[in-house]
Amino acid sequence: VIAAEELVPSILDPEAFEEEVLQAFVDSPERFPDYTADQVRFEWRSWVSTAFLQSSASATPEVAGIRTAALGTLWIAAITILFAVPVGVGAAIYLVEFAKPSRFNDFIQTNINNLAGVPSIIYGMLGLAVLVRTFEPVTSGDVFTSGPPPSENGRTVLAAGITLGLLVLPIIIISAQEALKAVPNSLRQAGMGLGATRWQTVRSQVLPVALPGILTGVILSVARAVGETAPLIVVGAASFITADPSGPFSKYTAMPIQIFQWTSLPQTEWRHLAAAAIIVLLVILLVLNATAVILRNRYSSRA
C-alpha cells in the first residue's frame, strides 16, 4: 500500500485512481526506490459478498464471515418473539378490555411505562442474575435431559432471547394498548348488543382492527432487540465462536457483538469486516422498519 486515498473517488472512478497511483511512480521515483510501475498490481475487493455471508468467524480476516453471528441473531430474535409477543399482547388485551379501574391497575400501568425507559444494561444484569445463574438448570437444558446437559452453564441462546424479550416487553404492551384504544367503542357496543360475550367481541371485532398497530409495535420492538449489545455482553455472548447455534441451549454470538469484537482489533482488515457487518445489520433493520411502515399504511388505507 503506497498511499491512502479518499473512499468516494476510488469507488466512483477506479480507473482514474489507478492512473493517479501509477503517475506517482513516474513523478516521484525516489519515494519508491524498491518498486517500479510495472510491479504495481491493483486488487479491488468487496467485503460484503456471498462468501462473507456464508463463512463463520475466523482468525484470518480474509476468510472470516458473519454467518455464525447472523444465525445467533436470528435464534435470539425468534425466542424474543415467542416470549414477548404472546405475553405483551395478552397483557395489553387484559389491561384495556377486561381490567377494571383500580389503584392496583394504575400501579401496574405506571410501572410498565417506567420499565420502557430502563437502560438495557439493567435488563442484562437481571438476565445474568436470574436466567444465567438462578435458573441455570433450565437455560442450560439440564432439566430437559437425563444425560450431560447441552450446555455447561446458562449462557445460552435461551437466556439471551428471554433477556431481550423482557427488554422489549413493556414496549410491546404499550404499543398494543394504544392500538386497542384506537378501536372505536361502537364496534364493542355493536358486538355485545348482538349477544356476543366480551371475549368474542374482542377476538372477532377489536383484534382484527387493532392488528396493524400491534404488528407495527412488535416489528419495531424486534428491530430494537436485534441491535442491542449491552445485555448480550452481560449474559455471556461469546466474542469468538465458530460453531453455528443449533438450538436454544447452544452457545452463541450476535451481529452487534461480532462488530464490537472486530472493531477492537488493531488490523485494518478487521475494521473492513466490521464495516461490512454494519451494512448487513443496517439492511436487516431497514427491512424490519420498512415492513412496519408498509403494514401500517396498507391496513390504515383499508380502514
Tens digits of residue pLDDT in 12-38: 566 776 677 677 777 777 766 676 666
Give per-residue pLDDT as tens, 203-225.
Answer: 989 998 898 889 889 998 999 99
| Distances, alpha carbon 1 to alpha carbons 32, 33, 41, 275, in Å | 11, 14, 10, 20
> Per the domain annotation, does 44 fall within a domain?
no
pLDDT at 2: 42
What is the DSSP annotation of 211-231?
A: HHHHHHHHHHHHHHHHT--HH
pLDDT at 49: 81
pLDDT at 237: 86
The reply to whether 20 and 71 lie within a common domain is no
The reply to whether 148 and 15 lie within a common domain is no
The reply to whether 14 and 140 lie within a common domain is no
pLDDT grade, residue 291 (50/70/90)? Answer: confident
> Per the domain annotation, does 1 fall within a domain?
no
The reply to whether 251 and 144 lie within a common domain is yes
Q: Which residue has the higher pLDDT, 31 or 66?
A: 66
pLDDT at 52: 86
pLDDT at 241: 86
> How many domains does the chain divide into?
2
The rounded distance, in Å, linking the Cα atoms of 77 and 244 is 15
pLDDT at 32: 65
The rounded distance, in Å, linking the Cα atoms of 40 and 57 is 31
The reply to whether 228 and 292 lie within a common domain is yes
The reply to whether 75 and 108 lie within a common domain is yes
* Domain limits for position 277: 50-302
- The CATH number covering residue 240 comes to 1.10.3720.10
Question: What is the four-CA torsion angle of 272, 275, 277, 280, rounded to 10 degrees?
Answer: -130
Which pTM value belongs to this model? 0.82
The reply to whether 154 and 175 lie within a common domain is yes
